[in-house]
Amino acid sequence: MIFKPGQVESYIKKPDNKIKAFLVFGNNDGLVLDTAKRIAKSICPNLDDAFQVAELIGEEIIADFGKLYGEYNGQSLMGGRRVIMVRDADNQMSKELRKMLDDSNSDNLLILYANDLNKKSSLVKLAESSEDMACVACYEDKNEDIYNTLKTMGLTFDPVAIQMLCAKLSGDRMINMTELDKLKTYMGEAKTVTPEIVAKVISDQSDSSADDICYETMGGNRVKAENLYQKYIGEGLEAVSVIRALTYHVLRLLSCQAYIEKRETVDAAIKKMTPSIIFYRVDAFKEQLKMWNRDKLLRVLGLLYEAEKDCKTTGMPTEEIVSMTLMKVAGAARK
């Protein structure tokens, strides 16, 4: 079954023994690992306890599925439920995994996690369709994810400081948490975070972010968009995530256009956006609202959906598909 973030939090507060296994996947490496560990700690608070927690790697299980079978059906010498964590879970495990869960009466919890699976993966489909498995997707952090994290920090944030944080942080939860932990340490007993503090403490993770690529692409700046994109994939980031980010950006423009069509002013429409447009992006966003009408945005949306489908089905290099798509969109911006 598919688990949303709220369901994960509910499980962590009160684990349900009906769930035999979790599959945590997605391109947000830090969030995948953090989610897997938090779920594990709901059963075994000390993940270093070798009696209660077993850690395996996907390729070990593919070579010998008996290792997973033995660990999953093993009992703790100390009593209580055990957790078996499998890093880099692979589709080749799907068939035997389903059989093991069907044949076993173990109350241990299996947690599989991987960064390179997607919605089309057989392991993901298995988890989504199984009543005794929970499937958790972890994609890039958006501004609202950062907002939710900030609420838990016990600090007061100047509105401009929040906007600066969102601009500086990346889509990866682990990197973001490292930066926010650094900020909390710096604050000490102080409670109010100002823009000056953010500028001083937080490292800029956004030089080649997908957000930058989106703004340059929709602004018709083909050379800048391509250069940023090449830097982005050169850092080992997933190319298709740029398509998803651009889709999100286009949907934001469409939402704003809908307000304008209802006779809202541009400024009023932008103020209604949630999460809000980062202050230093507002002028560029306004310019794009002039450049792209509703029909053009819908055509771009169709192009992006086709590009993501091609990335998954054609066998062509994903990096090239995304690059060609960016150039098509940027080229259409000025027409």
> Rounded mean pLDDT of 20-39?
88
Q: For helices 143-151 and 159-168, give the axis angle rounded to 10 degrees.
A: 120
Cα 100 from Cα 112, distance rounded (Å): 14
What token pair was written down for 41? 């700690």
Q: Sketch out the chain's domains with CATH numbers.
A: 5-137 (3.40.50.300), 143-201 (1.10.8), 210-333 (1.20.272.10)
Q: Is 154 exposed, middle or buried (0-12, 13-18, 19+ CB in 10 A)?
A: exposed
Q: Is the pLDDT of residue 141 over 70?
A: no
What token pair was written down for 330? 């940027």
| pLDDT, position 295 | 94
Mean pLDDT of the chain: 87
| pLDDT, position 204 | 60
Cα 219 from Cα 238, distance rounded (Å): 22
> Rounded mean pLDDT of 138-158?
76
> Rounded mean pLDDT of 82-90?
92
| CB 86, CB 113: distance < 8 Å | yes
| pLDDT, position 207 | 44
Least confident of 10-14, 170-174, 180-184: 170-174
Q: Is the pLDDT of residue 109 over 60?
A: yes
Least confident of 12-16, 101-105, 252-256, 270-274: 270-274
What token pair was written down for 144? 């609202």
| pLDDT, position 300 | 95
Percent of the chain clearing pLDDT 70 (strictly above): 95
Q: Is the pLDDT of residue 205 over 60?
A: no
